[in-house]
Amino acid sequence: MKLVLVQALRAVAALLVVMHHAQFETAALANRTDLGFRPSTLLPWPAGVDVFFVISGFIIVYASGSLYGRPGGRRRFLAHRVARLVPLYWLVSAAYLAIALAVPGMLTGDVAAAGLDPVYVAASFLFWPMLRSDGTALPLYGLGWTLNCEMFFYALFAIGLGWGRRAAVVWLVATLGILALARAAFPDMPMPLAFWASPVILEFAFGAALGLARAEGVRIGWPVRSLLLAVGIGLLMLVPEPSPALHPILYGIPSALLVAAAALGRDTAARGDGAPSLPVRAAAALGDASYALYLVHPFVLRATREAILRAGLAQHLGAWGSLVFMVGLAVVVSLVVYRVVERPLTRRARRLLDPGHHERPGDEKTLEEAGPHVSAEPKRI
């Protein structure tokens, strides 16, 4: 069963991050056209990535019920995860590399230089963390750092998958906790261990614990869920973007409260007849496409910004009108990419990597739709 509110929360998280990035593009547009623009601090735009990390931990633990302790479960889990993440990511990374080679002036000097290093390019495509020449642990397509975190989480989870759900969650929480403590004790860890031990990785553990809670039958009513939602939003809005060391506390815990409010209910935000409301269904549809939105929105924002500038529309639209136009177009394009590109690629990759599996109707639908999250860091294309 798809958890509609969790999918809707993914859409909200995605839009937070797209708005965060769109404001950087709008600021650049305003600087080139003498438009007045001041980025909004109304909502915690960068916190979308933390919400996605928690959601990812929750869905992977909860939706893998048919694989725990099953012969071949580890292999099948990893095959489906690779089929879900790799094809579209490789496609956009190749497009980014083509831009880096054809129009290097559109990228920062360090990115362009790193993009010519075959070892760095290979590491970026293989989800292996490496440092750029500027000292940042980012892949070629910078927002892919979240996918490096995802793949590491998947590898850890696959180890525990054969032991049963409870043992797998204990393994995950203990391992991630030990890594975070080791990073605090030894801040000069070498790569890639330093990347994998980043404190933000603890947010997967928060989600995994919630996934176990739901699988064990924990349910809470609307009054408590509403309180969790209000407290989570309030905490996120009260705290400016924290340092990396404090992310799992100041952003991760409130994000876990939001996911708990969405995931631990007895219903799916239904109307009286039991069907989700239209706004929830619309948000869930965008949540399904959040991986495509994650990967393509920087391209769309930058291209739309340049189109607005060259068409002379900035003065007519204004700064905020331009921002809304950029975000709206990014959403539309992501929905098209999800339907036309991502889903067919995923199905073909799954058949290639797991040819002997024949899914029952609805089998692992939630797991296959459990895409990763979006980066809260603005990147240049």
- Indicate the range of 38-52, 98-112, 160-174, 272-286 predicted with least confidence: 98-112
Q: Is the residue at 296 inside a domain?
A: yes
For residue 370, name the pLDDT band (cuts at 50, 70, 90). Answer: very low
Closest CA to 369 of 43, 10, 123, 73: 10
- Predicted confidence (pLDDT) per residue in 301-318, tens digit: 999 999 999 999 998 999
How confident is the model at residue 357, as a pLDDT? 65
Q: Is the residue at 379 inside a domain?
A: no
What is the average per-residue pLDDT within 35-59?
Answer: 89
Helix (H), strand (E) counts: the chain: 17, 0
25: domain range? Answer: 4-368
Contact (CB, 8 A) for 78 and 109: no
Q: Is the residue at 377 inside a domain?
A: no
Residue 374 has pLDDT above 80, yes or no: no
Could you tell me the pTM of the whole model? Answer: 0.89
Q: Is the residue at 214 inside a domain?
A: yes
For residue 114, name the pLDDT band (cuts at 50, 70, 90). Answer: low
For residue 45, name the pLDDT band (cuts at 50, 70, 90). Answer: confident
- Measure the CA–CA gap between 131 and 162, rounded to whole angstroms: 34
What's the total number of domains in the chain? 1
User: Integer distance in angstroms from the first to the last C-alpha of the chain?
Assistant: 38
Contact (CB, 8 A) for 49 and 374: yes
Proportion of the chain above pLDDT 70, given as a percent: 87
Q: Is the residue at 362 inside a domain?
A: yes
- Predicted confidence (pLDDT) per residue in 134-168, tens digit: 788 999 999 999 999 999 999 999 999 989 999 99
Residue 107 has pLDDT above 70, yes or no: no
**Cα-based distances in Å from 273 to 125, 219, 268, 269, 283:** 47, 21, 12, 11, 19
Q: Is the residue at 258 inside a domain?
A: yes
What is the chain's mean pLDDT, rounded? 87
Q: Is the residue at 380 inside a domain?
A: no
What is the average per-residue pLDDT within 208-228?
Answer: 95
- Measure the CA–CA gap between 195 and 191, rounded to whole angstroms: 6
Residue 362 in 3-state DSSP? coil
CB-based burial label for 109 (10 Å; 0-12, 13-18, 19+): exposed
Q: Is the residue at 39 inside a domain?
A: yes
Q: Which two tokens mark 371?
A: 């895409």
Strands (E), the chain: none
- Measure the CA–CA gap between 352 and 349, rounded to whole angstroms: 5
- Measure the CA–CA gap between 323 and 204, rounded to whole angstroms: 32
CB-based burial label for 204 (10 Å; 0-12, 13-18, 19+): buried
